[in-house]
Amino acid sequence: MNNVFVYCEIDKFTVEEVSFELLTKGRKLANELGVQLEAIAAGSGITGKVEKDILSYGVDKLHVFDGEGLYPYTSKPHTSILVNLFKKEQPQICLMGATVIGRDLGPRVSSSLTSGLTADCTALEIGDYDDRKSGKHYEGLLYQIRPAFGGNIVATIVNPDNRPQMATVRSGVMKAEKVAEYYNGEIVYHEVAEFVPDTDYVVKVLERHVEKASNNLKGAPIIVAGGYGVGSKEGFDLLRKLAEELHGEVGASRAAVDAGFCDHSLQIGQTGVTVRPKVYIACGISGAIQHVAGMKESGIVISINTDPEAPINQIADYVITGSVEEVVPKFIKSYKANSK
């Protein structure tokens, strides 16, 4: 009872990386609270294929739901699993990925249980809370920390009275670390029909096309990222040239994506991809906190910006005050001249 739960996302028979990241975080939270870590895995034909991987992140109890109609994911059956399991188990915390699935499932579950849910958290901590209105003191609450209001502020959200305290986290924000290759956790195979009424299987998936990501932003050692200051699609071609020279990848801020300079899949930040490259070259990026949330763990940050006061300069190791179209070609030229 009152344990930390993680909903594991499973693509056919493979557990998604974001779930391992959340299990790692969940393990730490459970340790701090002195409770157990439990996990949920739901899919079709997953028995024997996912348990060991999930347990190895230090899961004390794994709930498996294996049944027809649970893959591909649709909203209602997975909602019923979580809602009915949570009514019995009364978790204090539930974490899920801020993925298409997690963002479809989380709110539906939170609404059923009238519990609070915070989306796209960038940090999770345990701490106390004093409610000024009621004068009540709460111990060991989950601090759900996220940028808000277009990234101009960072808010710490708590759910004092309702359980579970639910949060979604984007992939790449937390780090996955196994506890032990063979972790001795309990596995419970549930009878799906006891949790999911037949009437839940109403949405039929007719076709699915999933492609491997067209870029390798997450694993790239060098990223050349462009913001609104790049000015145009053509400006991004210049960044691509530089990235090609450096064997890196091109990324973008939300402002550049919204302006139509490049594809949405390149977006780095709270609502995009989180990256940890060795070198991050920010071209014409002002540095809204939403963007910084997705790149602050970069090794070396180089900022190229006409505005010497751009917020991103505060976290940059090198600040070049100048325009992108002027500096980037020079950068390419001297790299070519000196790299041999």
Give the footprint of other proteins on residues 279-298 (CB under 8 A).
279, 287-289, 292
**Whose Cβ is closer to other proteins: residue 33's or residue 158's?**
158
Closest approach of Cβ 184 to other proteins, in Å? Answer: 32
Q: Which residues contact 340 (CB under 8 A, 6 or more apart)?
A: none
Closest approach of Cβ 302 to other proteins, in Å? Answer: 8
| Whether the Cβ atoms of residue 266 and residue 259 lie closer than 8 Å to each other | no
Among 88, 36, 96, CA closest to 62: 36
- Could you say whether residue 44 binds other proteins (CB under 8 A)? no
Considering only the stretches 26-34, 44-52, 178-186, 300-308, report the one whose residues sit in contact with other proteins under the rule CB under 8 A. Answer: 300-308
Closest approach of Cβ 121 to other proteins, in Å? Answer: 11
Closest approach of Cβ 198 to other proteins, in Å? Answer: 14
Q: Which residues contact 91 (CB under 8 A, 6 or more apart)?
A: 2, 3, 4, 5, 38, 163, 164
3-state secondary structure 269-307: CCCCECCCCCEEEEECCCCCHHHHCCCCCCCEEEEEECC
- Could you say whether residue 10 binds other proteins (CB under 8 A)? no
- Could you say whether residue 254 binds other proteins (CB under 8 A)? yes
Q: How far apart are CA 32 and CA 143, in angstroms?
A: 13
- Could you say whether residue 274 binds other proteins (CB under 8 A)? no
Closest approach of Cβ 235 to other proteins, in Å? Answer: 15
The contact mask relative to other proteins for 179-218 (x = CB under 8 A, - = no) is: -----------------------xxxxxxxxxxxx-----
Closest approach of Cβ 319 to other proteins, in Å? Answer: 5
Q: How far apart are CA 55 and CA 62, in angstroms?
A: 7
The contact mask relative to other proteins for 125-164 (x = CB under 8 A, - = no) is: ----x-x-----------xx---xxxxxxxxxxxxxxx--
Among 237, 308, 301, CA closest to 268: 301
Site for other proteins in 49-108 (CB under 8 A): 72, 74-76, 79, 99-101, 103-108
Q: How far apart are CA 308 and CA 256, in angstroms?
A: 20
> Looking at 3, 19, 267, 270, which residue binds other proteins (CB under 8 A)?
270
> Looking at 114, 184, 193, 198, which residue binds other proteins (CB under 8 A)?
114
Closest approach of Cβ 92 to other proteins, in Å? Answer: 13
Find the helix or strand (DSSP H, E) in which 252 lies. strand 249-252
Q: CB 57: neighbour CB atoms within 10 A?
A: 27
- Could you say whether residue 264 binds other proteins (CB under 8 A)? yes
| Whether the Cβ atoms of residue 181 and residue 56 lie closer than 8 Å to each other | yes
